[in-house]
């Protein structure tokens, strides 16, 4: 599937755009390729774009003062990623986004998203529902982190995203779950 078709199918699950509306919507995006390990957003950057993943896998992460990494999100095909706090506020990035694999993405700027949301009501509807779903997913994850032990969190993650098991190195899954590499190892074999 080419980039336009991937995006068209993704949007069509939420709203209907006419072919002309979709073509105009798609024209706001820039296709880009990155190599495994490349950084897309680094802490301190001015953030002006968000990213729709076509192929591969991104991670967004935070590194604390002691150098420990925390994973906020993995982004697989048809997922969106950015440092949304920085993107919306104009403040410098506090988190990072980089490539776990080679990655193809579509990039759109905050300015162009706002412009097209204003021009096409259905696009505004699409983005509202995209963030509604992200908000609910983040609330669920918060509750899981407060309420569950590492074993349960690991099982939930693998149930929800079984493809992560093969795609993502184990130390990154540990950083997502907020456990040590050793704890995760025990979970694999229990």
Binding stretches for a copy of itself (CB under 8 A): 62, 64, 68, 70, 72, 84-85, 88-89, 95, 117-118, 121, 124-125, 127-128, 131-136, 138-143, 145-147, 178
Given the complex with a copy of itself, which of 43 and 104 has the nearer CB atom?
43
Q: How far apart are CA 37 and CA 103, in angstroms?
A: 10
Given the complex with a copy of itself, which of 1 and 143 has the nearer CB atom?
143
Given the complex with a copy of itself, which of 45 and 124 has the nearer CB atom?
124
Given the complex with a copy of itself, which of 20 and 66 has the nearer CB atom?
66
Neighbour-count burial of 101, counting CB atoms closer than 10 A to its CB (0-12 exposed, 13-18 middle, 19+ buried): middle
In the chain, DSSP finds a helix count (H) and a strand count (E) of: 9, 8
Strand order in the sheet with 49-55: 30-34, 103-109, 49-55, 80-81
Given the complex with a copy of itself, which of 36 and 121 has the nearer CB atom?
121
97, β-bridge pairs = 41, 60
Q: How many CB atoms lie within 10 A of CB 4?
A: 16
Given the complex with a copy of itself, which of 89 and 185 has the nearer CB atom?
89
Find, among 12, 87, 102, 21, the residue nearest to 57 by Cα. 102
Least distance from a copy of itself to the Cβ atom of residue 114, Å: 9
63, β-bridge pairs = 69
| DSSP code, position 91 | P
Least distance from a copy of itself to the Cβ atom of residue 108, Å: 15
Least distance from a copy of itself to the Cβ atom of residue 33, Å: 27
CA angle at residue 6 from 4 to 7, to 5 degrees?
Answer: 65
């Amino acid at each position: 599937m080419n980039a336009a078709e991937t995006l068209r199918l993704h949007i069509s699950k939420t709203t209907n755009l006419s072919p002309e509306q979709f073509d105009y919507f798609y024209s706001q995006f820039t296709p880009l390729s990155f190599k495994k390990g490349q950084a897309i957003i680094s802490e301190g950057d001015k953030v002006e774009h968000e990213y729709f993943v076509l192929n591969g896998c991104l991670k967004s992460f935070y590194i604390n003062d002691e150098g420990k990494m925390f994973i906020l999100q993995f982004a697989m095909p048809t997922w969106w990623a950015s440092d949304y706090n920085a993107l919306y506020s104009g403040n410098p990035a506090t988190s990072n986004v980089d490539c776990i694999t080679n990655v193809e993405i579509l990039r759109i700027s905050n300015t162009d998203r706002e412009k097209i949301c204003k021009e096409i009501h259905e696009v505004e509807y699409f983005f509202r529902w995209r963030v509604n779903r992200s908000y609910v997913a983040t609330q669920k994850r918060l509750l899981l982190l407060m309420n569950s032990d590492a074993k349960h969190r690991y099982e939930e993650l693998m149930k929800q995203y079984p493809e992560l098991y093969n795609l993502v190195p184990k130390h990154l899954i540990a950083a997502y779950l907020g456990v040590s590499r050793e704890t995760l190892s025990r979970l694999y074999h229990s």
